[in-house]
Structure 1
Amino acid sequence: MRSFNRFDTDEEIPCRIDGEKDVATLYNLSSGGCMIETRNSSAREGSEIEVNLRDMATAQGIIVWKVDKQAGVKFATPVHQKIVEMLGYTATAEKFDANDPRDRFGLPLIG
C-alpha cells in the first residue's frame, strides 16, 4: 500500500543523476517519489537524483529500482501535495476502450 496519492504525468523534466545533468520523462508523481524514464545509462539503483518540478520545487532522492530505462525514485523529503496535484492528472477511462487489455502502465496492448 502506498503512503501517498500518485498522479499520472507526461512531461520532460531536467534532473541531475549522480551530479550529471540529464533530462528525464516524468511518468507519475507523488509526494514521496516518482517514476521516470532516463536516457542516462549510468543511472542505477542507489544513484542520487535531483529532479526539477517545473521550477516550483526541486526534489532530491535516490533511485530505488531500475528496469531498462524506467526508474523509481524515493524523495528524501516529501514534495507538497499541492505541487503534485498541479503537475499531475487523473486519467479518465473512456467507455469505448474500457475493456481493452492494458499493460501495467495503462497503455493498450496491441494484438
Structure 2
Amino acid sequence: MVDDGTPSTPWDYNVAPTSMQPIIRHRRRELVLLRWGLIPFFTKDSKDVKGLSTVNARAETVVSRTYREPFKKRRYLVPASGFYEWRLDTKNKIPFAFDLPTAG
C-alpha cells in the first residue's frame, strides 16, 4: 500500500494487456497507474496496435526494432508475485503459473 494519494487498483491475478496497473518509474521513483503494454513508436494511435502483440518481450527479441529504444531508455519496475506462460494444445491455450515458493 502506498499512502501518498496514488490511486490503487484491486489485486488482479490475471493482468490483461491494456489494463491499468501500478508501475514504479525508475527515474522518478514513483508509483503510477499506467496502461499495460507497449505502443510501438511506428504507430500513430493505440488502435493501430490491433493484431500486434507487444506485451511479451523475450530475451531474444528485446533487441528488435520494436523493443530496442524502450529497453534502453524506458525501464519500469512491475510489482508482481508471478506470471503465466501459455502452451498451445491441439485446440486450446493452457496457462502455466510461475511464482515464488511459499515459506513454510
Pairwise TM-score range, normalised by the shorter structure: under 0.3
* CA radius of gyration, larger in: 2
TM-score norm. by structure 1 comes to 0.27
Of Structure 1 and Structure 2, the greater strand share is in 1
TM-score norm. by structure 2 comes to 0.28
